[in-house]
C-alpha cells in the first residue's frame, strides 16, 4: 500500500495562511491524493483531492509537486474552526466491487492560535 508521511502536529495563527505538508514518495501513477480532516468528537470530513494539477475548492487548495512525491494542503486564512486532525491519504483499490479503501494514517494535528 502506498503510504504518506505527515508531521505529527503544526501550529498556526488565526487569519494567517497555513501550509500542511505531506510526503508520498511511493505514489503510483494512478493514485489520487485525498485530504480529510477530523474535528474533535466528529467523524472525518472530506476536504479536497487531486491527481496532478493543483486544485481549489471552497475549503482549501491542494498543491501537488511536479514529481507527485509530495503535496501541500493550503488553508488560506486559518480560523479556530480549522483546528483538527488532517489526514493525507492515497487511494487504494479494494479487492472486490470496484470500490476503494482509504487508508487513514495517524494524521497531523493542527492547532490554531487566536
Partner 1 sequence: DAGITQSPRHKVTETGTPVTLRCHQTENHRYMYWYRQDPGHGLRLIHYSYGVKDTDKGEVSDGYSVSRSKTEDFLLTLESATSSQTSVYFCAIKGTGFGENSPLHFGNGTRLTVT
Which residues of the shown chain bind partner 1 in the complex (CB under 8 A)? 32, 34, 36, 41-46, 49, 87, 91, 94-107
Q: Between 14 and 44, name the residue whose CB sits nearer to partner 1.
A: 44
Q: Between 13 and 102, name the residue whose CB sits nearer to partner 1.
A: 102
Grid cell of 95 as nine digits: 479487492
Grid cell of 90 as nine digits: 492515497
> CB neighbours of 10 closer than 8 A, spacing ≥ 6?
18, 20, 108, 109, 110, 111
Q: Looking at the DSSP assignment, which residues form a beta bridge with residue 109? A: 9, 85
Q: Between 14 and 104, name the residue whose CB sits nearer to partner 1.
A: 104
- On whether the CB atoms of residues 86 and 36 are closer than 8 A, the answer is yes
DSSP string computed for 33-57? EEEEEE-TTS--EEEEEESSS-EE-
Q: How far is the CB of 105 from partner 1 (least distance, A)?
A: 5
Q: Between 81 and 106, name the residue whose CB sits nearer to partner 1.
A: 106
Q: How far is the CB of 15 from partner 1 (least distance, A)?
A: 27
Q: How far is the CB of 96 from partner 1 (least distance, A)?
A: 5
Q: How far is the CB of 92 from partner 1 (least distance, A)?
A: 10
Amino acid at each position: 500500500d502506498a503510504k504518506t508521511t505527515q508531521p505529527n502536529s503544526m501550529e498556526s495563527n488565526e487569519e494567517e495562511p497555513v501550509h500542511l505538508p505531506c510526503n508520498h514518495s511511493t505514489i503510483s501513477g494512478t493514485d489520487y491524493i485525498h485530504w480529510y480532516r477530523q474535528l474533535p468528537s466528529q467523524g472525518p470530513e472530506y476536504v479536497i483531492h487531486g491527481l496532478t494539477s493543483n486544485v481549489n475548492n471552497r475549503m482549501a487548495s491542494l498543491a501537488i509537486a511536479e514529481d507527485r512525491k509530495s503535496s501541500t494542503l493550503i488553508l488560506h486564512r486559518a480560523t479556530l474552526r480549522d483546528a483538527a486532525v488532517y489526514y493525507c491519504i492515497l487511494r487504494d483499490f479494494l479487492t472486490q466491487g470496484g470500490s476503494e479503501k482509504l487508508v487513514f494514517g495517524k494524521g497531523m494535528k493542527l492547532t490554531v492560535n487566536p
